[in-house]
Amino acid sequence: MITVHDIHKAYGAKAVLKGVDACFPARSLTSLIGPNGAGKTTLLLMIARLTAPGRGEVRIEGRPVAGIDIGEYARRVATLRQAPDFNLRLTVEELVAFGRFPYSRGALTREDQRVIDEAIAFLSLEPLRHAYLDELSGGQRQMAFLAMTIAQQTDYLLLDEPLNNLDIKHAVQIMRALRRLCDEQGRTVILVVHDINFAASYSDHIVAMKEGAVYCAGSVAEVITEARLGELYGLAFDITQGQRGRLCNYFNP
């Protein structure tokens, strides 16, 4: 379980996080939702230790993360930001192999190779194994990066808007993969997601943020209600319960 305690953060005079307390239960998929500028990504980056909190602390299983060696932390928490745009010429397999760096520091063992194969197979990326990243579509690239994160074999996965710029098919593939990581492998997944319907369909737990604080948090049934979402986003919501889950309609006011 990851918990955050009284987190504050300001960029210059602008306060982005104002006393955030939240809890991300283990072995479940938690979505961070909320309007732009609510501080979701900043909070996620703090858990990832990519940004330092101004005040307060993040704890992993009760232990403050600031005291954990960064190399050890990489074996417990893996982070995926939006697939970065670098001009390296490397193949999917080479990228996934980077996921083993926290363990082997560059010299791959047979065990590493096995984990890499597994991660590639988990996302059905075998046909693209030797393809170069710059030849892939955005969705395929995102899958390749996710495979690298999976190969890191961490209990916790943090993803910052993994569905950004993806078509609906790839978005569903990514979310299903995350769900399976949670259900089949017992991993804890925390992601920032903008599509409220994906959050409603795939999460166990939702943390809704607004203006630098937690607006509400709880199970999907508790958070995905017309009243709460309406106030969170300032839009009129119409939530229908169908056979395939909840559907939030906010398209026409």
Partner 1 sequence: MMRPQPRHAVWIVVVTLALIFVFLHSGLDFDYVIPKRIARLTAMLIGGAAIAWSSITFQTLTGNRILTPAIMGYEAVYLLWQALLILFMGSASLVLLGVNGNFVLSVLLMLGYSWGIHRWLFRDGKSNVYFLLLVGFVLTLLISTFTQFVQLKVSPGEFSILQGFSQASFNRAQPLQLLFSGLLVGAVCLLGRKTLPTLDVLSLGRDQAVSLGVDYRRNVRLHLALIAILVAVSTSLLGPTAFMGVFVANITYALARTFRHRVTLPLGGAIATGMFITAQLLVEHVFNYKTTVGILVNLVCGGYFLVLMVRTRGAP
Pairing state of beta strands 29-33 and 14-24?
unpaired
Of 78, 178, 181, 200, the residue at the interface with partner 1 (CB under 8 A) is: 78
- Alpha-carbon gap, residue 233 to 37, rounded angstroms: 12
Restricted to residues 106-165, the positions that interact with partner 1 (CB under 8 A) are 106-107, 152
The reply on whether position 66 binds partner 1 by CB under 8 A is no
Stretch that binds partner 1, among 16-24, 105-113, 191-199, 200-208 (CB under 8 A): 105-113
Beta carbons within 8 Å of 84's beta carbon, 6+ residues apart: none
Of 88, 121, 168, 236, the residue at the interface with partner 1 (CB under 8 A) is: 88
Stretch that binds partner 1, among 6-14, 53-61, 98-106, 122-130 (CB under 8 A): 98-106
Of 101, 122, 215, 233, the residue at the interface with partner 1 (CB under 8 A) is: 101
Report in angstroms the alpha-carbon separations of 65 from 11, 41, 101, 193: 22, 18, 20, 24
The reply on whether position 221 binds partner 1 by CB under 8 A is no
Report in angstroms the alpha-carbon separations of 113 from 29, 78, 122, 223: 28, 19, 14, 42
- Alpha-carbon gap, residue 60 to 87, rounded angstroms: 35
Applying CB under 8 A, which residues contact partner 1?
48-50, 70-75, 78-81, 84, 86-90, 98-99, 101-102, 105-107, 152
